[in-house]
Structure 1
């Protein structure tokens, strides 16, 4: 199979009504809010202290730099399409601070320069030095791609070169890796843009040495008493069989491992990586992922417990964990060319991740439960503020997830209205994707410019769609499936149009019977959107409702509700209230009243007055 490469952000213009307005909100509201909070919380002042050589005044936890770097990355993605956006001045200001703060040897971390200059690399497990460095490198690569300027890239390369001088297999270097994987993804990005093999080799070193119990030695813990699961230090990478530990760290680790499989020239290693990745993927998606696409079921370690344990009210499902799954799924799709990975990506994107940011763009969820008593609300910021800039960089970079290609094929992985400019077989190609997704079922892909070259067009058939239909220039076309994609191969002419229809009927979903929390309950899904019930839309308290399976569900477009959504309506049995029971504690079973209920998209909950919410409901 030919290598599949993503079509870059610079080549894609998003015109989609659903996502374009969110990207506009990101520009006008989210980014100004992020940088205001980063100033207030101390992230930016900390780096100014480092630039000035100060030794006091640091604010916040040890990983403060990373949140600024994620916001910087998000702002840089905006500059791709809006090079004169006012955010550019803030980006340039921060780059100037970073240039001044960087040490002569290339080291850069505000905490260790201001608070603990003698503690470099002494606590790899907990102190996030390599994690912070990774996010700086990712921001730098994004900035170079958007602007062509090497200023931030030079800072990142000096830092990466310094790290490479410290860690590695050579006798003069040391064994180690970060307690929070991230730098591995960054080093592969840096390698792809600079073509410097040392960066890929260093990422491979960090990945393949993980599991050597470095943190046990670092913290003087006897090996027979050591459990490195939370830090992904429980087993060597190639021996991993299930997704465990901290959910975000796990997602980033396996995303980095997928990068290694994509880049290595060692066919044996690649085969071992693919086998391991598929084992862990099957465990993650088949046993440990919420219907909303999020991962991480328990709050104590922000991670996993055991197969099928997916509680709803206490679900952690950190926004960053949904993003980590998206990063991993995207890479798996590029590695293996199978649509199922983008099915998982889409589920996480439209549900678990998108719930993490308000419609206003200035309030955020860190934790995303599937049931609430009405007291869980989005916040403007957090003491650990990893999620707000992370969801910002995801939305800002969304154009890079839509398309991928080989020398003779174009993959359409997400149905987001857009215009893409690329080359196939050395000839220019421009495609325009028009759709009302995720509310409307029709996707039209028009060839706006083509040199009449022959290539394959691969359109993902979502796993939720039972009866797709395909038309070419208005004529019905039999769907030929290849790894979950409908394949149309021809010599394409300007004006050719492919229309894919994906019927979106609302359906009741059930969970595997081993998921105790959801047993004898149903959830509602329409297309890629998972729904929930908020109590103020219902005829009775949520605890008094049971959805009737034998009554149809209806889709209703509500343009004025929650910035425009399709709601789902149906009938529910409603328990009698206290007045109907009188003084009785028990009575003979009666027929219950039937009343209409209304469900809204999960991503849009908690935007009106506080109210209980549930995704999973009893059925009757």
Structure 2
């Protein structure tokens, strides 16, 4: 029979309030990815490309970028020559973890030899007492553990331990595990009860120590992880850096309040999710009620107020993290790939702890959208930042100076099967629907589950069981939060009114070899709206089908997608497109477009007629894999309304220099700041240039007469490198030349206000705000307004 999931309160696309009250912890056991075989048309090609392309690229780039060279320098006990930032070691370890996972499912003697060669260099770099961090061995010997906040020693050690455990489980060898246990023992000799207080500025080692405990059976590693978690928030970093507590704000490092007092997600996004992952592991073992309460409270704040529809977190570039609730800009969304990985890891642990589908829903959302977007379809290029809108300038890169994301995606894809299944008390849980098979032991019985499906393109899932003998247990099938209509059949017969517990269909019976289950999940195209508190999405909608969020891209819809709008109720239909993007289901329908209106010298005019045009949407994860061009996830439901203001609103913007995180259009978006230090969604700046002469330029299609201008400067003293300019001026376009205007006075520099100047009227098609940067500082401008002069 068909079963209405809406009636069972599985109504949310992201989170359902009816499910907010968790039942008691269940402490499920994950089915290891080594016991899961993936054989489908969606994930199998991604894993194969990850194995044959991305992982080799990771190692090649680690050689090229100097990461491996740093190991060799440390092994030689060199005292000079270290290359790169302090956390260079961590990228090696993540790449080794990914390679070890790949080795576990696809034996490869050549890859195994390559791994062993790098492990030998790691072992040689390790000091006699177990300490291992190439930055301090080579560049700052004698200063180890002096800057836990910023210098990532514990973070690097954590990734090393995770890689070593992965290598041990994949190969059975202890050559890498011995290095990890020696390093962990050294750390335990320094930190812990009755020893030294401290914890990592970038959490991660907590997760690693728990994995080491489970691999070795040595509970002391868990206790060290517990020490790091339970002591966090004692404002250790204020003491470490001699900052008076009344002047200290540790929110960026989640060090502002004791761990159990956190009320919301805050600070650096990856650090926050890694910390909460570690806290969840500790709470699962200790059952500390205060810690459990905090985790659930912060989780609700995350998914109800701070998570992108694409399964990412962290909207702000300035801190790679959070600002305030509901701040979810699209064009300037940071949404670091590593943050989506961390969000999936945290929610996977919560799903194991509580057996509640709302956590697995977040895992699925992150994996199919935010994480998967982090790597190109050919496996050769990577996103660090994942906006939900692009003007056509944002693209994947071959590598990064901070290269945390490529190996993080690689290790996630290589171990993907580990997210799919879990075992509880007389129960087998299916969390992700992926074609292939899984082997598990349920209540003492060996069970194999063969799964056939075209998910995520289709919601039909067939499951066939093979057992070592008849056995009674619960088969729990996740009812996804995006699905409102589903049916279940066993042995071809409808399963009447199946119980739904914590978001799972519970099929309780005696199972035998050959039994089959058929799950049908209706997968219509859904129009998604955002909470009204999300200002960036006012008057907009997004499309989702199944677990996939869709976007529109210029490659399918022309370069002028900025003018497109989709009225509410617009129908979009799915269509298989085997010839693009490796084979996807696209959404097809129609949109409206209206020409831009020129308001120069006009108070009123007729509304131009709109035109209906075809519209094609593709899965978000697949964007920027074809001809470069603009992209949008959130589409307006009505024609755009120009921002109020003067001629600047009709101008195109050009910068003399633009870095990857500058948004020139922020200068004329009409959003007036409250202070110079405010961090807007879009910001025009020249960072990291300093001491140079720069400009921002306005251009108009037809000449206008202007006679004044004013600028509101950006200054992020205390957190960044932008300051008020040393001086500024204005130039106008005269034919092919740029000439200074005749200013009626000096050019003032006003702090937290408008710097304004009048000048003799000029008729022109272009105006430049020319800025001289201070010798050691960059500069930026929030808004630049232009005053039109009366024509005689």
**Cα distance, 1:187 vs structure 2:** 0.5
Q: 1:200 aligns with which of 222, 227, 230?
A: 222
Are residues 1:155 and 2:169 paired? Answer: no
Query: Is the contact between residue 430 and residue 450 of structure 1 (CA under 8 Å) also seen in structure 2?
Result: no
1:22 aligns with 2:41: no
Q: Are the aligned partners of 2:445 and 2:467 in contact in 1 as well (CA < 8 Å)?
A: no
Aligned residue number for residue 242 of structure 1: 264
State whether residues 213 and 222 of structure 2, in contact with CA within 8 Å, keep that contact through their aligned partners in structure 1. yes
Match of residue 247 from structure 2: 225
What does residue 426 of structure 1 align with?
Answer: 444
Compute the TM-score of the two structures, normalised by the length of structure 2. 0.76
> Following TM superposition, where does structure 1 have runs of at least 4 consecutive aligned residues deviating by more than 3 angstroms?
576-579, 581-586
Conserved 8 A contact 1:247-1:296: yes
Tell me, in whole angstroms, the C-alpha distance in 2 between the residues paired with 1:370 and 1:479. Answer: 38
Choose the corresponding residue for 2:348, options 330, 335, 342: 330
Structure (1 or 2) with the larger CA radius of gyration = 2
Task: Give 1:165's aligned residue.
Answer: 189
Partner SS state of residue 86, structure 1: helix
> Of 512, 530, 535, which aligns to 1:516?
535
Q: Is the 8 A contact 2:549 2:620 kept in 1?
A: yes
Secondary structure of residue in 1 paired with 2:272: helix
Question: RMSD of the alignment, in Å?
Answer: 1.6
Ranges in structure 2 where 5+ consecutive residues have no aligned partner:
1-24, 639-792
Quick check: 1:479 aligned with 2:503?
no
Q: Kindly provide the CA deviation profile for residues 201-223 of structure 1, in whole angstroms up to 9, marking residues without a partner as x.
A: 10010001111111111111111
Cα distance change, pair 174–549 in 1 and its aligned pair in 2 (3 A): same
Would you say 1:403 and 2:453 are equivalent positions? Answer: no
Consecutive unaligned residues of structure 1, counting only runs of 5 or more, are none
Deviation track 1:416-459 (CA, whole Å, cap 9, x = no partner) reads: 11211121121211111111111011111110334111110001
Select which of 536, 547, 564 maps to 1:528: 547
Count of residues in Structure 1 that have an aligned counterpart in Structure 2: 613
**1:3-82 superposed matches below 5 A:** 3-82=27-106
Aligned to 1:538: 557
- Cα deviation for residue 586 of structure 1 reads 5.1
Contact 1:140 1:153 in 2 (8 A): yes
**1:554/1:119 CA distance change after superposition, 3 Å:** same
Matched, 1:106 2:124: no
CA distance in 2, matches of 1:607, 1:85: 32
CA distance in 2, matches of 1:19, 1:301: 33
Q: 1:94 to 1:617 in 2, by over 3 A?
A: same
State the partner residue of 2:117: 93
SS in 2 for 1:17: coil
Q: Do the aligned residues in 2 keep the contact of 1:558 with 1:566 (CA within 8 Å)? A: yes
The Cα of 1:53 is off from its aligned counterpart by 1.6
Per-residue CA deviations over 1:254-305 (Å, capped at 9, x if unaligned) read: 00000001122xx4x2x21211111000000000000001000100000000
Residue 539 of structure 1: how far off its partner (Å): 5.6
Give, in whole Å, the separation in 2 of the partners of 1:247 and 1:101.
Answer: 31
Per-residue CA deviations over 1:442-491 (Å, capped at 9, x if unaligned) read 11111033411111000111100010111111111133200000010111
SS at 2:485's partner residue?
Answer: coil
Pair 1:586–1:29, CA change in 2 (3 A): farther
Indicate the SS of the match to 2:114.
Answer: helix
Q: Deviations over 1:305-340 (max 9, x none)?
A: 001111111100000000010010000011111000
Q: In structure 1, how many angstroms separate the alpha carbons of the residues matched to 2:601 and 2:506?
A: 66
Tell me the residue number matched to 1:459.
Answer: 477
Among 286, 290, 297, the alignment partner of 2:304 is 286
| SS of aligned partner of 1:191 | helix
Distance 1:2 1:232 in 2: 28
| SS in structure 1 at match of 2:383 | coil
- Structure number with the higher helix fraction is 1
Cα distance, 1:86 vs structure 2: 2.6
Q: SS where residue 106 of structure 1 aligns? A: coil
Q: Deviations over 1:374-421 (max 9, x none)?
A: 000000100000000001000001011100001310000011112111
Aligned partners of 2:519 and 2:139: how far apart in 1? 58
**What is the rounded CA distance, in whole Å, between the counterparts of 2:420 and 2:468 in structure 1?**
20
Report what 2:467 is aligned to: 449
SS in structure 1 of the partner of residue 613 of structure 2: strand
* Cα shift at 1:101: 1.4
Residue 547 of structure 1 pairs with residue 571 of structure 2: no
Distance in 2 of aligned mates of 1:432 and 1:367? 37
SS at match of 2:42: helix
Alpha-carbon separation, structure 2, partners of 1:540 and 1:150: 55
2:519 is aligned with 1:497:
no
Q: Give the CA deviation at 1:587.
A: 2.7
Q: State the Cα distance separating 1:84 from its structure 2 match.
A: 2.4
How far off its partner does 1:591 sit? Answer: 4.3
Maintained 8 Å contact 1:569/1:596: yes
Q: How many Å separate the matches in 1 of 2:378 and 2:412?
A: 16
2:550 touches 2:620 (CA, 8 Å); kept in 1? yes
1:105 Cα offset (Å): 0.5
- Does residue 144 (structure 1) correspond to residue 173 (structure 2)? The answer is no
- Following superposition, the deviation at residue 544 of structure 1 comes to 1.3
Does the 8 Å contact 1:540/1:574 carry over to 2? no
Residue 175, structure 1, aligned to residue 194, structure 2: no
Q: Secondary structure at the match of 1:325?
A: helix
Q: Do the aligned partners of 1:450 and 1:492 also contact (CA within 8 Å) in 2?
A: no
CA distance in 2, matches of 1:9, 1:439: 23
Task: Give CA deviations for 1:156-180 in whole Å, capped at 9, x if unaligned.
Answer: 000000000000111xx20000100
Question: What does residue 398 of structure 2 align with?
Answer: 380
The equivalences for 1:560-579 within 5 A come to 560-576=579-595
**Shift of residue 577, structure 1, vs aligned partner:** 6.4
Q: 1:310 aligns with which of 298, 303, 328?
A: 328
1:54, CA displacement in angstroms? Answer: 1.5
Q: Deviations over 1:538-586 (max 9, x none)?
A: 267122111133332110110011001111111111113689x999885
CA distance in 1, matches of 2:271, 2:420: 25
**Paired position in structure 1 for 2:6:** none
The residue aligned with 2:148 is 124
Using the alignment, how far apart are the partners of 1:533 and 1:306 within structure 2?
28
* Alignment CA distance shift 1:206-1:565 (3 Å): same
| Alignment match, 2:383 | 365
